[in-house]
Structure 1
């Protein structure tokens, strides 16, 4: 009587053969929805879309690399001369609203300004009046206040310097110096 009945597996599907064969559960109609060729076509298409989507940014970067002198910066008043003593520093934003910088008065007529994001990992850089240097506390990076070049720690590139002018009893930011290796 058992031979007359069809054999069924645990899920209730009919087992076509008596032997212990595991190929009966393959559904060949949708076995290969994504084969190697389809996968490679999809990857090539995704790479093409990514490459094309980066072209506008590359064009903007190329424009500034080819003609760096055409870039203009706003002129911004930073401080009145009588508001700062030698050795004082103030923080300001320049050229954009998220670009923080540091202005240091070294002597009566000498000022230096740098972006205060460390060139190692963008930690904030502070003025140390006692040590007469710019300090990055994250990894003990030190920068020379006169040149912006690193003197200790992991930073290898100088801080971006902000161009200054002194007019009408005030200090103005006029631009950002291009980094020269």
Structure 2
């Protein structure tokens, strides 16, 4: 009697060991339980069973891209406007020079200001996805589902066969 219970627990522990906890590091980097970096495509494969977490992860990655574009684009616009103002020629007829802070500078400053909350928001969104994924693994609702249970007998004895998803 002890032998079948032991093997059942051994198989159950083996299946449980395949559940992979995720670890969130800064800047959207996700590590597996062995501290190896996981690519975004691999994370999407892990989250494929839970559409809500997958949608939140994709939204977080989109926010990261948008934040990076604004964070890089803002200073580029400011520097471009500064270079334009420095290299502008003085209008000899009127004696006036084109002023420095033009619309490009204001757009660049606005892009920098908008990028900060977006970058913070993507980080929190991905942290929440990792936390929810790990909590789901602890609860066991995403591990596996038993599709079929059969009671079998033969000349060697009786047993239960479980067919997993």
Q: What TM-score comes out, normalization by structure 1 length?
A: 0.25
Structure with the largest fraction of helix = 2
Q: Which has the larger radius of gyration?
A: 1
Higher relative contact order (CA 8 A, sep 6+): 2
TM-score of the superposed pair, with normalisation by structure 2: 0.27
